[in-house]
């Protein structure tokens, strides 16, 4: 239960950063925190105490094995999240080179 609360707190910290911060880099960090908290939650939900890894030669009846699907989904989500974060940071750097500021309010004023 404590781990689920920790994941929720991490998600809320990321949401707070997205809502309240004016710096685009801090917003990107908040987005990454939210993403990693969800991945952490999925990894914890797939955990079974005392379960054996699902790498088998022969299935033994009566043994408890962990489910590999949540682990595979989390690994896929991590890779996709890394790509999205890299793309987001490249767009932020491109905006900085063009405008000269990371401030979101200044960028909104330039909109016209």
Residue 80 is assigned to a structural domain of this protein: yes
Give the pLDDT score at 74: 92
Token pair recorded at residue 61: 């009846």
Give the pLDDT score at 63: 81
Q: How many CB atoms lie within 10 A of CB 35?
A: 19
Token pair recorded at residue 76: 């896929």
Q: Give ∠ CA 4-35-102 in degrees, rounded to 5.
A: 135
Give the pLDDT score at 112: 64
Residue 54 is assigned to a structural domain of this protein: no
Give the pLDDT score at 46: 79
Give the pLDDT score at 62: 78
Local confidence pLDDT in tens for the 112 residues of the chain:
898 999 999 999 999 999 999 999 999 999 999 999 999 998 888 777 888 777 777 777 878 878 888 888 999 999 999 999 999 999 999 999 999 999 999 888 887 6
Residue 59 is assigned to a structural domain of this protein: no
Nearest-angstrom CA–CA distance, 2 and 47: 14
Report the number of distinct structural domains present in the chain: 1
Residue 58 is assigned to a structural domain of this protein: no
Residue 60 is assigned to a structural domain of this protein: no
Q: How far is CA 60 from CA 5, 46, 51, 52, 96, in A?
A: 35, 21, 13, 11, 59
Residue 83 is assigned to a structural domain of this protein: yes
State which residues form the domain around 31: 1-47+67-110
Give the pLDDT score at 12: 97
Residue 20 is assigned to a structural domain of this protein: yes
CATH assignment of the domain containing 95: 1.10.287.3510
Per-state percent for the chain, helix, strand, coil, to nearest 5: 70, 5, 25
Give the pLDDT score at 108: 86
């Amino acid at each position: 239960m404590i781990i689920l609360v920790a994941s929720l707190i991490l998600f809320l910290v990321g949401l707070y950063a997205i809502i309240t911060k004016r710096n685009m880099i801090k917003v990107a960090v908040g987005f990454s925190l939210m993403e990693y908290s969800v991945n952490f939650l999925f990894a914890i939900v797939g955990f079974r105490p005392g379960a054996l890894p699902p790498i088998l030669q022969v299935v033994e009846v009566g043994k408890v094995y962990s489910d590999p699907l949540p682990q595979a989904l989390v690994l896929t989500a991590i890779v996709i999240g890394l790509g999205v974060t890299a793309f987001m940071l490249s767009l932020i750097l491109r905006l900085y080179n063009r405008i000269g500021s990371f401030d979101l309010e200044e960028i909104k004023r330039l909109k016209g």
